Chain A
Amino acid sequence: MSRYRKILKTAFASLLLIALVSFSNNVLAADGEALYKANCASCHKPDEDGTGPMLKGSRKREPNPEWAYKWVNNTTAMVETDPYAKALKAKYNNVIMSKFDLPKEDIKAILDWADAYTPPPPPGGGGAAGAPAEDNSLLFGILTLILALVALILLQVNSSLRKLSDEKDGVLRAEPVPFYKNKVYLMTGVIALFCFGGYKTINAAIGLGRMKNYQPQQPIYYSHKVHAGTNQINCLYCHSGAQDSKYSNIPSVNVCMNCHKAVKEYKGVDVLVREDGTPVNGTAEIQKLYSYAGWNPVTRTYDKPGTPIEWVKIHNLPDHVYFNHSQHIKVGKQNCQTCHGPIQEMGEVKQFSDLSMGWCINCHRESKVDFYNKETGEGNKFYSIYEKFHNDIKNGKMDSVTVEKIGGTECQKCHY
């Protein structure tokens, strides 16, 4: 036995090593990708020129491999002196890259990731792998109906047979009431209808004013799929308020123009269609943005007064609810998608959740806070004031702290 155990041990150790190595590789690559998304994605693409040049192979194109590291931290000064930088500036419509305070290893991670980048396979070609799970409820419904019918027939047969046998035995019986006049049947029907109707009415009443799947037409067809999905622009680049404010903030027009001064027409792979199937001309939508901004793409100047865009608000909370984005993004470390759904796959945005109180409360009951561990120092130090929970965890009375435990389901967490 001991022999096998040793072999097993070795095998396990090697497996662990392999796993670790591959995992750490993943971490590096993921780091590069994350850094790219946070800092570069709004202007650069890994494998094609956007507002700025593509990142893949940039170190080979540039005068020397170290050039990129100097450039990122010092764009404004270098663009005046460095010939290669001057050339880039001329090529990219005189747009100068903003300065980023990134350490060299971060830049290296981004560029390494870009060099190794391969575009993902186009969607749809994957075949059956992504097929939706089958919905069996129809089948069950039909089965139930058939069974109910069989039961009814059997009942009828039973009563007919009994009648026959009674006739045979010479027992006199009253003419049976037809089932549609049978009070038991009728009453059962009425009660069933009442319950069903009541259930429906109450549900409808509760749902009044809830706007799940609300997808109004916006003044500009802005596709999150193109921006956040395909082009991988970080949500917080535009919705910067989400980490500081109660509002996530619809970006102001100047934020759009940061990129769209350079991106004048839509040449993306995604086909733009509205929910009803009408195709959308992406370039025409960019032109709409220009007219709002008062931007003249030919002369490259703001030559008209701009007008703010009146977007239709999709996610509406009643006035008596206080919701703070930064609480959820920064402290709760939630993803945007938790509430807004697969936003990176939506053309025009629709409301994903019903934003009902029950929905909020459920999440608060289940979500765990980043509780402070006094021994290891991990977690949010704010929670060190919850002495009791700390002791309970230590004594094994509880294993984690949910939002509910720290008052997340109390009225005045959200209503004041």
Chain B
Amino acid sequence: MNGFKIEFAYQHIIKNMEKKYWQSFGELNQSGSFQQKAENEFQEQLLPLEDLDDKGLLDAKSPRRDFLKYLGFSTAAATLAASCEMPVRKVVPYLQKPESLVPGVANYYASTYVSEGDVIPVIVKQRDGRPIKIEGNEKSTITNGGTSASVQASVLDLYDVTRLRYPTQQDGKEFKEIPTFDILDKTIVEKLAALSGKPVVLLTSTLNSPSTAQIISEFLGKYPGSRHVQYDAISYSGMLLANEACYGKRAIPSYHFDNAKVIVSLAADFLGTWLSPVEFANQYSKNRKVSAEKPEMSQHIQFESSLSLTGSNADDRFTHKPSEKGAVAAALLNALNGTAATFTDKKLNEGIKLAAEKLKVAAGNALVVSGSNDVNQQIIVNAINEAIGANGKTINWAVTSNYRQGIDTDFNTLVNDMNSGAVGAVLIYGANPAYTYYDSKKFTDGLKKVPLSISFNASMDETTEFCKYSTPANNWLESWGDAEAKTGYYSLIQPTINPLFKTRAFQTALLKWAGNAMDYETYFKDFWTKKLGTAEAYYQALQVGVIEPSIPIAAAGATFSNAKLAEAVTKVTAVKGSEYEVVIYQKVGMGSGSQANNPWLQELPDPITKVTWDNYAMISPALAKTILGIDVLGSQRDGDRYEVTPEKPVITINANGKEISLPALIIPGVHPNVIAVALGYGRQSSDPEKTRDYIGQSANKAGANAYPLVSFDGTSFRYSAVQNVKITKSDKEAYALAQTQVHGSSENRPVIYETSLARFVADPKQVLAEATHEREMLTEASNGEDFRKDATIYPDFVKPGAKWGMNIDLNTCTGCSACVVACTAENNVAVVGKTQVIRAHEMHWLRIDRYFTGDISNPDVVFQPMMCQHCDNAPCENVCPVAATNHSSEGLNQMTYNRCIGTRYCANNCPFKVRRFNWLDYNGSDSFEDNQNPLLGIDLDDVTTQMNDELTRMVLNPDVTVRSRGVIEKCSFCVQRLQENKLIAKKAEDPSLIRNVKTACMQACPTHAISFGNVNDKESDVYKIRNIEQKHRTFYVLEQLHVLPNVSYLAKVKNTGRHVTNEKEEEGGGNVEKKAGKNADKAHG
């Protein structure tokens, strides 16, 4: 009877469920092939049997023989493995053990990640002498311990096999080793002396190191007429020049998103890639934490052409063509003065009106930022910020930031000088213009004409190839150094490993060549000891990692001059567009492409598109219909044909006189006339055959290079193409994209709860009313009182000590994916390669599900980090025939690899689809070498077996087992950290110490969206969030299955006047949902 009642309750719930959140068009339309694909989750043939022909096992031609073959092989293999002698292992202790080192205990050193002007203070985890993990430095008030995907992945760059291992000299065609640095120094000094007055140019990316700046000025002093040119792959020169025009300072101020109640972003991806995303995401999140007690949050309005990470987090989002970017800024300025915008797109006009209203109301607690590199647009943005009173409040001119300093004209002049033979020597450090400059050929031609060219870059990249000398600099983890992210905010770098190869600091080379015998280490120590006063203060600073003003510098404005404003407005409004326009953007993981050979970043699914290993032409469904004839929304057949196979049709883009062919990826939310292309891909040596050896196996053949599409307008680089853009469907064969989008589908069960701020304030309980109602119904149906105990036939086990739980705030999760890479690094998660991702074999323990919802042409986006939920009633545990997965008394869903026999029943039974199966021996951990050959006879990507390399293996975390072929793995809640922390607490006899435990994802998160702790401890964050602070927003995914997850989520709250999807529909609202619903009905009918 009870069973019937519960069944009835479920039926009722399912009936009431409406599909509101979708990951793919198939899911939206509920097409047949989508459902088929979702059911067939492994997407594999069951057994590699010959000639099965759908005739069943017994009628097939040779199943018996095959069966015997496999049986024979496994028996023989087992015997062989068993009878092998145990190998003799050696244990080699130190000759002189360093005092600070205890083998088996990790040391942590403060350092700083620096790359192309980015500065992130970090703590490096060093285990037995090798760095294995990067964490954010919580002592920094700029980042507050946040990191990004590239910081997390950078530890793997240290062990990159393509790193140059010694200084070389190009000898016509070959690079020959220079035996010692003394010989190198002697040759270079001679050559520099023989330049006869021609200038020496130091070409670097933005350098914000004060000690290096001093060394550079010493060096330049030694060679009169020489200069230092800073060149940024992604330029901010428009902003620098605009600030010079408006405020008389060629600098970038500090932004305070945390002081802003209203944020308007004009295509600035400040949560993903713009300027200092970790800092901004951290600030941004402070105003996005909302609770019934503090029902306040900032309002974020985004205007953009493509769908960026920041746009997907916005409360309200409006699209425009890239050519209208300046006009939108100008219209917003006018709207502040009461003039309505007059675009043909009415929605855009409304958006500008809305933004202007909100900005005015906020009275200074507002901020407008623009991602444009156009001086005029930035001047207008400055004027807007002046008009809304942001100058001095959310924009701080007392502390300027040094992240980007390159001026595009400087570099252009250099390229011209090089071509005219006016440059004597060029020393390149941290810049790769042969790849990132739009006119690569002009640069390399010029470079060839320079008598002395020296590259300090770490690998044989596109630029180094053309240099006469290569003297690789140390990796940042092997370096001394400093960085001044903002005026007065210093951060120090200390080495955490001896240089692995014969490399030398860039600064030491400059010192030697300037005639200073000191090496950089000594120079650096002297520099800081002098600056800080005492050696003690220096060591103290090294230990802490950051030097900051003891009292935060008060925010101050700068005097604004509107002299150039009128001219700027005229210029931007005069820009003509064309039918199609191209936006060139950066992906969150890949950025400018300097880390393109990092497989962790390549395999990281882009938060918006979920594509790995490639870039593509991102287009809207409407544009796809026009140029490709694919109607993904209207026609189910089209949608399926496009979506179910990984092969996507290729389109050719003609812009700025360049041509590029890319697979078309249909993403809703992109402006209907816009094609968005990501930078950072298509790395290639001059001889494409050599790319694999020179640049690396991960970067090789990954995507196409979009830098040639960038243009130069005489003042700055333009990251869009607005005129004479031609788009054609290419005849080229369809190109396979490895997209993880639908690999884990929840099959229509509701997993997201969302509401608007106004409704949340009115009734905080309403957002989870549905879930609460369901719970009550289920409890009632089972004649019970306690939902947890009575709604199940399984016994309820006590957790006598700690019970681990995690909470994720969907409001502050921006989808930046730092956690995904952190998890990969911490848990030795394997990289499988593009071919394997296409087959849904990716191994990530933590994925970020991206759901679209609402208006199909401009959808809202919700990100939901999804990992093992450690269910207390875990469906996976019941179906394991060998008890390889079971539950611990601390609430962990344990996975025991050495017991697993690979039936995959657990993965099949997991409603969250978080269990990953090792189809191959990715880590080389099996006894049989042959296990790395795939049985099914497909080609593997080079990178699939990257961990076979002894150098790359050094990155592995020795406390986490590498999994062998044929076993399931999944999130363990970083159990190694839990055990370590418990041990620390036991040793200190202090239970409160386990409150310090942090999982890798939680520690990496720049917005602190993830909390973790012992739920039995009433003082723990998780307990407080779930039961006190956020009890109105806490929900469990798929709660109605009664699997009792240990991961809770906080419902998303949007600060918008629009109707938010999951709310009960009101009069007039929700047209779009109705339409989607109709479509779904059609699909079923």
Contact = CB atoms under 8 A, between A and B. Distances in A.
Given A253-B93, A322-B976, A326-B987, A415 B102 contact: no
Nearest to A406: B801
Contacts of A412: 888, 892, 894-896, 972, 975, 979
A252 B96 CA distance: 6
A307 B800 contact: no
Contact of A319 (B104, B798, B886, B961): B961
Given A311-B90, A406-B801, A413-B979, A380 B989 contact: yes
Contact of B896 (A318, A324, A411): A411
Contact of B798 (A310, A322, A383, A388): A388
Report whether over half of chain B's contact residues are helix, strand or loop; otherwise say mixed. loop
A410 B894 contact: yes
Given A245-B104, A309-B93, A311-B92, A411 B888 contact: yes
Nearest to B106: A245
Interface residues of A, number: 56
A324 B987 CA distance: 13
Contact of A320 (B94, B961, B989): B961
Contacts of B972: 412, 416
A167 B927 CA distance: 71
A80 interface: no
B983 interface: yes
A310 B94 CA distance: 10
A381 interface: yes
B96 A324 contact: no
A80 B234 CA distance: 66
Contact of B93 (A311, A326, A330): A311
Contacts of A316: 86, 89
B102 A241 contact: yes
Contacts of A320: 897-898, 961
Given A241-B103, A412-B888, A416-B961, A384 B991 contact: yes
Contacts of B989: 380-382
B345 interface: no
B92 A331 contact: no
Given A251-B93, A322-B976, A412-B892, A389 B959 contact: no
A381 B491 CA distance: 39
Interface in A190-213: 205, 208-209, 211
Contact of B979 (A249, A252, A380, A416): A416
Interface in A250-267: 250-255
B1016 interface: yes
Nearest to A245: B104
B354 interface: no
B928 to A, nearest CB: 15
Max count, chain A CB within 10 A of own CB: residue among B800, B960, B982: B800
Contacts of B774: none
A211 B88 CA distance: 11
Given A241-B102, A252-B93, A322-B979, A411 B886 contact: yes
Max count, chain B CB within 10 A of own CB: residue among A211, A216, A253: A253
Interface string B876-893: 000000000010111010
A388 B822 CA distance: 36
A246 B95 contact: no
Interface in B944-974: 959-962, 972
B802 interface: yes
B798 to A, nearest CB: 6
B92 A309 contact: yes
Nearest to B82: A208
B-side interface size class = 35 or more
A216 B987 contact: no
Interface in A372-416: 380-389, 405-407, 410-413, 415-416
Interface in A178-234: 205, 208-209, 211, 216
Nearest to A385: B991
B97 interface: yes
Nearest to A401: B800
Contacts of B991: 381-385
A306 interface: yes
Contacts of A293: 95
B225 to A, nearest CB: 49
Given A407-B801, A410-B894, A415-B898, A306 B92 contact: no
Contact of B91 (A250, A307, A381): A250
Contacts of A311: 90-93
Contacts of A310: 90-92
A382 B985 contact: yes
A46 B822 CA distance: 56
A177 interface: no
Contact of B986 (A211, A382, A388): A382
Interface in B73-102: 82, 86, 88-97, 102
Contact of A247 (B104, B801, B961, B988): B104
A380 B93 CA distance: 33
A216 B88 contact: yes
A122 to B, nearest CB: 34
Interface in A306-341: 306-313, 316, 318-320, 322, 324, 326-327, 330-331
A246 B127 CA distance: 12
B58 interface: no
A244 interface: yes
Contact of B983 (A253, A308, A331): A331
A330 B985 CA distance: 12
Interface string B921-956: 000010000000000000000000000000000000
A389 B89 contact: no
B95 A252 contact: yes
Contacts of B68: none
B990 interface: yes
| Shortest beta-carbon contacts, A-B, top 8 | A245-B104, A252-B94, A252-B97, A247-B104, A313-B89, A411-B896, A313-B91, A250-B93
24 contacts: A208-B82, A241-B105, A245-B104, A250-B91, A252-B95, A253-B95, A254-B94, A307-B95, A308-B95, A309-B92, A309-B93, A311-B92, A312-B91, A326-B983, A331-B986, A381-B990, A382-B988, A385-B1014, A387-B800, A389-B800, A411-B899, A412-B895, A416-B960, A416-B976
Interface of B: 82, 86, 88-97, 102-105, 798, 800-802, 886, 888-890, 892, 894-899, 925, 959-962, 972, 975-976, 979, 982-983, 985-991, 1014, 1016-1017
Given A245-B104, A385-B1016, A416-B961, 6 more contacts: A244-B102, A246-B104, A307-B95, A319-B961, A413-B979, A415-B897
